[in-house]
Amino acid sequence: MFSLLARSVTLKRLASQYGMTPNGFARRFIAGETVTEAIAAARTLQGRGMRVALDYLGESVNTTKAATAAAREYVQLIETIVDSGIERNLSLKLTQLGLTIDKATCVDNLRRIMEPAARHDFFVRIDMESSEFTQLTLEVFETLWKLDFRNVGIALQSSLHRTEQDVRRMNELGARVRLVKGAYKEPKSVAFQQKADVDAAYMRQMRLLLDHGVYPAIATHDAHIITETRNYAGERQLGKDHFEFQMLYGIRRDLQTSLVADGYRMRVYIPFGREWFQYFMRRLGERPANVGFVLRAMLGEKSG
Ligand code: FDA
């Protein structure tokens, strides 16, 4: 249902109008529409002992011009982050850089970003999108890897049947993986349909990454999996600097804080930019209770 709603033009127009006002309902999940707001959010989180990754929102770009413009914006963002002094860590989506147009355009755009990123010592994580792009995303990642970029990592989704093999491949390369459950509705031919199966796959892959991976990111808000990760790392006597936890901006802030208090590395993924609607709809879809939260915020706004 949420993927259908995400395509609704009327809803998008309404959301754009009300969502990002100073107390707008989308602000819980998105730092703002401008880089200045994202940097302010990053400073606040860093002040609380957290690490950060900035994500300039955008996806499904379908013209070469728009994809090149997005790459330029990322290059500009690199300069702005360097000047700001916040941590140098970015996340991006390949469909924002032209993956739906063709692979070569996307690789060119990604290289345009990776070069200044490497010069300025940034780490760049490639997000994983819906399954029609998994193979292509991994191919683009490996192209960059073969070009000797080592400041790049990839996200893998434990909901997909193929992921265990992809985890092994990334471990073999020595590439950094962010393990997520997967935010897209996928057919049963490619993905587990039951939450219990996704969670079990996540646990297996978490262990593979802790045992054989390079500085994995355990990206989940699932308190049970987080406890299991802590226990497993403890049993294996892995230091707290062997991996990091990651969570999304505005989600399970209590858990983010308690992990930092317990001495774990905690990175918060901070999305920002004008193209926030699709990201926002995925967050609503993950948790029906969020719809109530949004409705209350909207009603509060109207009466306030
Ligand atoms: P699960 O969905 O089981 O939720 C566990 C608990 O977390 C819930 O009970 C609730 O308390 C809380 N929670 C989860 N989602 C919430 C929400 N939207 N609002 C409020 N509470 C919520 N996906 C992807 O396909 N490609 C990617 O590249 C990324 N990148 C990424 C980066 C980072 C840092 C994170 C944390 C997540 C992603 N994701 C992602 C999203 C991921 O695939 C997944 O959809 C969400 O993290 C929700 O799954 P959980 O692992 O939190 O578990």
φ/ψ of 262, rounded to 5, equals -85, 5
Considering Cα of 159, then 160, then 161, then 167, what sign does the dihedral take?
A: negative
For the CA of 222, the closest atom of ligand 1 is 5
Higher pLDDT, 247 or 303: 247
Q: Is 287 in the pocket of ligand 1 (CB under 6 A)?
A: yes
Length in residues, the chain: 304
For residue 7, the model assigns a pLDDT of 67
For ligand 1, atom 20, name the residue with the nearest CA. Answer: 251
220 in Cβ contact with 206 (< 8 Å): no
pLDDT tops 80 at residue 201: yes
Of 23-27, 42-46, 219-223, 229-233, the one with minimum mean pLDDT is 23-27
Q: Among the residues of 21-63, which ranges form H helices? A: 35-47
For ligand 1, atom 30, name the residue with the nearest CA. Answer: 127
DSSP 229-251: HHHHHHHTT--TTS-EEEEETTS
For residue 303, the model assigns a pLDDT of 37
For ligand 1, atom 32, name the residue with the nearest CA. Answer: 219
For residue 35, the model assigns a pLDDT of 96
Tens digits of residue pLDDT in 223-279: 999 999 999 999 999 999 999 999 999 999 999 999 999 999 999 999 999 989 889
Q: How confident is the model at residue 295 (pLDDT cuts 50, 70, 90)?
A: confident
Rounded to whole angstroms, the Cα distance separating 178 from 5 reads: 28
For the CA of 182, the closest atom of ligand 1 is 43
